[in-house]
Amino acid sequence: MAQIIEGTRIRDQILAETRERVERLKSSHRAPGLAVILVGDDPASQIYVRNKIKTCEQLGIRSEKLTPAAAISTEELVGLVEELNRRPDIDGILVQMPLPAGIEAKRVLEAIAPEKDVDGLHPVNIGNLVSNRPGLRPCTPLGIIEILKRSGVAIAGSRAVVVGRSDLVGKPAAFLLLHEHATVTICHSRTRDLAGVCREADILVAAMGKPALITADYIKPGATVIDVGINRVADRSQAEAIFAGWPEKLRDFDQKGSLLVGDVHPVDVAEKAGLYTPVPGGVGPLTIAMLMSNTLDAAERRLLGC
């Protein structure tokens, strides 16, 4: 039976380490400063931002939330970002996605100064990632590497397969694994014999956004499986197909009307993998932790020159 990797435990380790670093920085300079821009009133975005602000408070990071109306223009939003770029007390800038229709998200994200881009998505930071130069890295892929290292998984020399080629997770995760000396293959919807390629992986990262796509046929016995997917299943027949033989999950479904499912089949991975991250409770908790770590990194580079 596979061993579950508890993302919450690793998150708590990282947050405790970050809190200590924040205290040291405050004693010699000042608290790191994070500005979060939340445009409009999307309920999910409001929850995400609230959780980020709460974590800042717990760590001693000074946060500032800006809430322009959904009717703001691209030019006005870019102007707001540029004002934050100029402020010496702001070390990190985060624009909560998605932005309302009509706003050019690419222009807004590229307006963020690379040294304040705590999401790690500015083209300069992506270039630094590809060339393995110092810079801010995307939070979820960075969390994947922390999960692997803190779980004692040997990355160097391992065969890693990343299923998914998004700019947010798949591509940066592949480069981070490559820089840790894994041999990396990136797969996607047009990969021939996807199951066969995945079965070669010592480390399998699933980031396709397809519920329970990765079944037993995709998993090498004893592999480490990192499930990045978060999919809400609201169809009873689909839930039955995924959780056959797991009556307590189906009872949860009947109570809630839906269930969160990763990109990896939860029953198959438990039977075939060596280590795996569950959904929920696996990779998800690391994203905010790495955002906090990135904010502190940005502050230390600006204040300490390191």
Q: Is there a single domain that holds both residue 198 and residue 276?
A: yes
Catalytic residue among 96, 117, 220, 297: 96
The CATH number that applies at residue 147 is 3.40.50.720
Catalytic residue among 119, 227, 263, 268: 119
pLDDT for the residue numbered 116: 98
61 CB-near residues (< 8 Å, 6+ apart): 22, 31, 32, 33, 34, 55, 292, 295, 296
Positive or negative: CA dihedral 202, 203, 207, 209: positive
Over the stretch 127-172, which tens digit does the pLDDT of each residue have? 999 999 999 999 999 999 999 999 999 999 999 999 999 999 999 9
- Asked if residue 21 is part of any domain, the answer here is no
In angstroms, rounded to a whole number, what is the distance separating the alpha carbons of residues 13 and 212?
29
Q: Is there a single domain that holds both residue 222 and residue 145?
A: yes
In angstroms, rounded to a whole number, what is the distance separating the alpha carbons of residues 181 and 230?
28
In angstroms, rounded to a whole number, what is the distance separating the alpha carbons of residues 24 and 231?
39
Q: For residue 41, what are the domain limits?
A: 29-113
In angstroms, rounded to a whole number, what is the distance separating the alpha carbons of residues 125 and 115?
8
What phi-psi label fits residue 102: left (phi over 0), alpha (psi between -120 and 50 degrees) or beta? left
- The answer to whether residue 305 scores a pLDDT higher than 90 is no
The CATH number that applies at residue 99 is 3.40.50.10860
Active site annotation includes 96: yes
Over the stretch 65-121, which tens digit does the pLDDT of each residue have? 999 999 999 999 999 999 999 999 999 999 999 999 999 999 999 999 999 999 999
Over the stretch 174-216, which tens digit does the pLDDT of each residue have? 999 999 999 999 999 999 999 999 999 999 999 999 999 999 9
Give bridge partners of residue 66 from the DSSP assignment.
37
In angstroms, rounded to a whole number, what is the distance separating the alpha carbons of residues 108 and 101?
13
Considering the entire predicted model, what is its pTM? Answer: 0.95
Instruction: State the Cα angle at 266 between 180 and 199, rounded to 5°.
Output: 50
Q: Is there a single domain that holds both residue 99 and residue 205?
A: no
Q: Is there a single domain that holds both residue 159 and residue 275?
A: yes
Q: Is there a single domain that holds both residue 103 and residue 144?
A: no
Q: Is there a single domain that holds both residue 241 and residue 146?
A: yes
What phi-psi label fits residue 8: left (phi over 0), alpha (psi between -120 and 50 degrees) or beta? alpha
Q: Is there a single domain that holds both residue 109 and residue 171?
A: no
- Asked if residue 295 is part of any domain, the answer here is no
* Structural domains of the chain, count: 2
Is residue 277 within 8 A of residue 225, CB to CB? The reply is yes
Q: Is there a single domain that holds both residue 187 and residue 226?
A: yes
Of 3-7, 42-46, 242-246, least confident by mean pLDDT is 242-246
Active site annotation includes 119: yes
- C-alpha distances in angstroms, 155 versus 116, 147, 219, 249? 29, 11, 17, 33
- Asked if residue 91 is part of any domain, the answer here is yes
pLDDT for the residue numbered 227: 98
Catalytic residue among 52, 220, 249, 272: 52
- Asked if residue 179 is part of any domain, the answer here is yes
- C-alpha distances in angstroms, 300 versus 91, 227, 297? 9, 32, 5
Positive or negative: CA dihedral 26, 45, 263, 182: negative
